[in-house]
Amino acid sequence: MRQPLRLATGGRLDRARPITFGFDGRRLDGFAGDTLASALLAHGIRLVGRSFKRHRPRGILSAGPEEPNALLRIERGPGRVEPNARATMVELVPGLSASTQNAWPSVRRDFGALADRLAAFLPAGFYYKTFFRPQGAWERLFEPAIRRMAGLGRAPDAPDPDRYLHRHAHCDLLVVGGGPVGLWAARLAARAGARVMLVDERAAPGGGLADAGTLAPRIAGGPAAVWLDRLLQALDAIDGLTRLARTTCLALHPSGHALLLERVADHRLEPDPRLPRERLWKIRPRAVLLATGRIERPLVFPDNDRPGILLAQAARAHLARQAVLPGRELVVAAHDDSAYAAALELAHAGARLLAIVDPRREPGPLAARAAEAGLPVLAGWAVIGSEGRPGLAAARLAPLDAAGRPRARAERTVACDGLLVAGGFTPSVQLWSQAGGALAWDEEAAAFLPTSGPSWLAIAGAAAGAATLAEGLGQADAAVRRLLGALGLPAPGEALPAVEEAAPAPASPPWALEAIWRADPKASFVDFQNDVTVADLELAVREGYAAIEHGKRWTTAGMATDQGKTSATTALALSAAFSGRPIAALAPTTMRPPWTPASFGAIAGVHRGDLFRPIRRTPLHAWAEARGARFEDVGSWKRPTAFPRRGESLEAAVERECRAVRTGVGLADASTLGAIDVQGKDAATFLERIWTIEVRGLPIGRCRYGLVLKDDGTVLDDGVVCRLGPNRFLLSTTTGGAARLHAWLERWAQTEWPELEVWITPVAEGRAVIAVQGPKSRLLLCRAASGVDLSPEAFPHMTWRAGRIGTVPVRILRVSFTGELGYELHVPASRALEVVETLERLGPDLEPTAYGLEAAHTLRLEKGYILVGHETDGTITPRDLGLERLLRAEGDFLGRRSLELPEHRRPDRPRLVGLVPVDPHALPAVGGQLVESEGPGTVPLGHVTSAARSPTLGRTIALGLLRGDLARPGRRLLVWAADRPSVEVAVGAPCFLDREGTRLRG
Amino acid sequence: MLLIPCPWCGPREEVEMACGGEAGPPRPADPRALDDAAWAARLWGRTNRKGPQIETWWHQAGCGRWFLLARDTRDDRVLASWPIGVAPPEGLDLGGSGR
């Protein structure tokens, strides 16, 4: 297939390796070394998408990561889909297929173009107006429509099959940017003995210098390319220097932590299955030098967004790298000297330069050189518009009067197929700013330049505002010496190379020629990706959003995936002008990582699927599995929900398990409960400061249920305290609270009372807990246990005894979460299976029944036992729960003082109540709101905290928190939850079974 | 990601740590001696200083010790760390702007 804009020779391509790729269903050819953008340009394809809001035809603007227009959907194989990929950064590989986005049915004939006709109704922030009137229209009409319009690409719908890895590294100096300044700095530092990492975003280093063709400055008396080559060879010969290509520095944090994204596989012509697709590097450098370069600014004039309008340096880059011309008949708008270099190189390569317009009265020396070479330079002229649909067909030029206004009568329309714009440069200071470096407006550079920053950070070259390469090299030299000096590494003496270049004249910034964009502010684009025009920025100021952070969000300027790389400074300068303030008085909006979009895969690394979260299994997991458990996740634990038998529904299983515990004996795995051993001569004192109950006088062998409060009086956790010895206690806590309670105890012991002699050790690991609950539990244990008197007189409720089951030592606690006679057996984890199987074996006539979480929760709910995290939510106090009996009479404990605050004595505080649905089969929703009646104006009086179907009672029951002053027993309320019918309930006591606790103490 | 210098283990990544917030005055031995306003101020009031601040940190995923750390809240610069119950390192400058 012909590539009309590809030159026969030149470029850094491998012409021996042609590549066929897909574009919107067509098959096109390119070469190894092409990007998708350069290959499309070579074919003369300029229309590559439709803009976000107004669906204007758009073409390739740049040659790098700043590309705002050419966002395409890339498919590399099944599951390997990347929407919104910048064509300028996609390297061509066999099998690649690209499609345009945001256009239907095709990019050429897009129905969405209607939006451009309606532009008057779609200014910035138009959707805010739809929130208000007419009422109801937002939900039914506007929101669905706006959601359909929003977005550019379509998300992939299959999992990403590629592998991504993370890597950590340390170095003395991280150099970000592999242009001449970065390369120089890296070699200097490496020769001083520093461990250096050098990263560059592109496939090959050399930065802007490598894109300079015939106009590249001579360095050290020879061609720039030779100097670069030698420098690279020297670098690659150094041990202790790591050079990463295709690696973007995503983030540089104020603490000095750097995040790099290395693209490892996508560019390979032959895939290597051993390689990850991308690597995320987490770097701790001792010092950082940023040599991140600069980005060219597009000009602002009516219809400045037509396909065929490119940045001048981008045209230069496509020519140098891929031997591609942006067009055959070119007009150049040179508001900056660098455009002349582009014009000269393109003319030399065979393009026809029809006009070079330059509004500046005093351009630099390159303008004279261009004129000498016979190029048509029009000094004092500017571009005032463009024509052509869908792509550029002509540029409108006009001379400017002394005030910078175009003289309409002298206007000229020049037919062309390429318009190169050069509005000066914005230094890439994002990483500098992320790390905490300061910026200040420099009027001559018309840019925000770095001023002072953290001592470990330096910036040099174009990114620091250097106007020439020599200046940049000087900055890098000084920076490296300073940074390494601070690390105790003296840099060797090294002379800077002589660079033959002339200092450029200042640029005319894109916003300067007001009369030009005033002609049609609605068609003069500032942020291409989000379709933000000059009119939008002016509207923002008029609407009161003069502050830069407000204006940015209201217009969405700088908020697209390009993060304003080609638009931020222009938008800020225009906002300043519209609000009558000098630019120097404003600061750029906060710059945040990532520098460019990063894949979720890279961020996740290996932490997906089974490795997303550690999975914890108890010592009894195999037993539960063998008994048919259905598991659920509780935190990182696998817990049995229930043990449904063959053909049994979950609900039926829960019913059967509950009945077994209430009438026979049930076995459950309670190993996830926290257990903390607290020892020391001050153990009792310490515990009494934390727990609400009496601990000092607790006899050895006894257990007591109590609460732990935060110092504001709210319940943190509940659990049982057992006295194991004179100075030794065992605490048990909820599963969810185990780590939290341990952290709580450590914090108070270490930070507040370090004078107390107490040791705190979590002992849940290495131990299993088997709950044996039900009226027949004692019977079962009598058959299995030895060395312990299990009679009710010798072993009352809330005590513990030591014994054996077979040869296994066991600590037996007589505690119950179910309200039945019951025990907890604490055994070594390695013997757990043995113990539970012994129990099952010795009591087949008793039918010991495995029961899971659902049954356990239902059983405790019947008794009204609270579950921390359900009946409590961080705002609930013991009095709210009706548990004042757990607050001992004497002595201070955490939270005691707060309980006396007026807030905790208010009559309308929540109170724990029982809720009995009028319909015995209706199950209220947990979290459902308690209300008097439905309808507008209803005030919630409380909410449901737990609910279940009770097999014991043959009906549904619930617990809730209800305003204490309204909690009259018998009162009827409704439980309201969205999208389901309300359930009528009667308020009652929060205990539905055996209020006296006779079954417990049996 | 801050680099936190544990007094026992040396500089470690922030993910190994948990922050306990501003280091306040010791908990009064007799909270009942404070009136409601004073107790509430003690419970919830924080200086929230713009400048160097002393905080408690816990080396949760390491040695398990709590310690004190001085950090400048303006730029997240870590100034020093030292064990609880020990005087701050000599020469530690906690000057800088107040509230």
A571-581: average pLDDT = 95
For A106-128, the pLDDT digits (tens) are: 888 887 787 787 777 777 777 77
Per-residue CA distances from A845 to A399, A446, A607, A840, A842 (Å):
106, 90, 48, 10, 9
pLDDT of residue A608 exceeding 50? yes
- Band of pLDDT at residue A98, cut at 50, 70 and 90: very high
User: Which residues of chain B lie closer than 8 angstroms to A614, CB-CB?
Assistant: none
Flag if A257 and B60 touch (Cβ within 8 Å): no
Strand (E) or helix (H) holding A856: helix A853-863
Flag if A284 and B26 touch (Cβ within 8 Å): no
For A204-219, the pLDDT digits (tens) are: 999 999 999 888 999 9
Flag if B84 and A902 touch (Cβ within 8 Å): no
pLDDT of residue A295 exceeding 90? yes
Flag if A897 and B32 touch (Cβ within 8 Å): yes
Of A180-189, A320-329, A732-741, minimum mean pLDDT range: A732-741
Point out which residues pair with A379 in neighbouring strands. Answer: A358
B54 with B69: CB under 8 angstroms? yes
* Best of B3, B15, B27 to mutate (most A CBs within 10 Å, chain A): B27
- Band of pLDDT at residue A326, cut at 50, 70 and 90: very high
Helix (H, G, I), strand (E, B) or coil at A352: strand
Classify residue A602 by burial, with Cβ atoms within 10 Å: 0-12, 13-18, 19+. Answer: buried
Query: Cα dihedral sign for A208, A214, A217, A221?
Result: positive
Query: Cα dihedral sign for A91, A92, A96, A100?
Result: positive
Flag if A743 and B58 touch (Cβ within 8 Å): yes
Distance from CA of B58 to the nearest CA of A (A): 8
For A800-856, the pLDDT digits (tens) are: 999 999 999 999 999 999 999 999 999 999 999 999 999 999 989 999 999 999 999
User: Which residues of chain B lie closer than 8 angstroms to A255, CB-CB?
Assistant: 1-3, 14, 76, 78
Residue A582 CA to residue A576 CA, distance in Å, equals 6
User: Which residues of chain A lie closer than 8 angstroms to B20, CB-CB?
Assistant: 747, 751
pLDDT of residue B99 exceeding 60? no
* Best of A745, A897, A901, A905 to mutate (most B CBs within 10 Å, chain B): A897
Point out which residues pair with A197 in neighbouring strands. Answer: A174, A242
pLDDT computed for residue B97 by the predictor: 52
A701 with A801: CB under 8 angstroms? yes
A55 with A389: CB under 8 angstroms? no
Whether the full predicted model's pTM is greater than 0.90, yes or no, is no
Helix (H, G, I), strand (E, B) or coil at A552: helix
Tokens 């072993």 locate to A795
User: Which residues of chain B lie closer than 8 angstroms to A253, CB-CB?
Assistant: 1
Interface A-B: count of C-beta contacts within 8 A = 58
For A700-730, the pLDDT digits (tens) are: 999 999 999 999 999 999 999 999 999 999 9
pLDDT computed for residue A1 by the predictor: 61
pLDDT computed for residue A360 by the predictor: 94
Point out which residues pair with A802 in neighbouring strands. Answer: A811
Flag if B84 and A454 touch (Cβ within 8 Å): no
Flag if B40 and A254 touch (Cβ within 8 Å): no
A167-188: average pLDDT = 97
B64 and chain A in contact, CB less than 8 A: yes
Looking at chain A, the whole-number percentage of residues with pLDDT higher than 70 is: 100
pLDDT of residue A134 exceeding 80? no
pLDDT of residue A154 exceeding 90? no
pLDDT computed for residue A179 by the predictor: 96
A534-541: average pLDDT = 96
Most distant pair of Cα atoms in chain A: their distance: 114
ipTM: 0.95
Residue A939 CA to residue A363 CA, distance in Å, equals 72
A892-915: average pLDDT = 95
What is the torsion angle, in degrees rounded to the nearest 10, for the CA atoms of residue A304, residue A309, residue A313 and residue A316?
-170
- By Cβ distance, the residue of B2, B32, B58 closest to A747 is B58
B 4-43 residues inside an 8 A Cβ radius of A:
14, 18, 20, 23, 26-27, 30-32, 34, 36, 39-40, 43
A586-605: average pLDDT = 93
B44-53: average pLDDT = 92
Residue A860 CA to residue A192 CA, distance in Å, equals 71
B2-9: average pLDDT = 96
- Band of pLDDT at residue A53, cut at 50, 70 and 90: confident
Chain A residues interacting with chain B (CB cutoff of 8 angstroms)? 253-257, 284, 436, 454, 711-712, 743, 746-747, 750-752, 754, 892, 896-898, 900-902
Of residues A259 and B99, which shows the higher confidence score? Answer: A259
Flag if B27 and A902 touch (Cβ within 8 Å): no
Flag if B36 and A892 touch (Cβ within 8 Å): no
Distance from CA of B35 to the nearest CA of A (A): 9
- By Cβ distance, the residue of A257, A746, A752 closest to B27 is A752
A95-104: average pLDDT = 91
- By Cβ distance, the residue of A436, A754, A901 closest to B40 is A901
Residue A830 CA to residue A832 CA, distance in Å, equals 6
User: Which residues of chain A lie closer than 8 angstroms to B21, CB-CB?
Assistant: none
* Best of B1, B12, B73, B75 to mutate (most A CBs within 10 Å, chain A): B1
- By Cβ distance, the residue of A750, A892, A897 closest to B65 is A750
Mean pLDDT, chain A, whole residue set: 94
pLDDT computed for residue A734 by the predictor: 83
Q: Assign residue A293 a region (left: φ > 0; alpha: ψ between -120 and 50; beta: otherwise).
A: left
pLDDT of residue B98 exceeding 50? no
- By Cβ distance, the residue of B1, B2, B20 closest to A751 is B20
- Band of pLDDT at residue A530, cut at 50, 70 and 90: very high
Closest residue in B to A904 (Cα) is B36
DSSP 8-state assignment for residue A824 = E
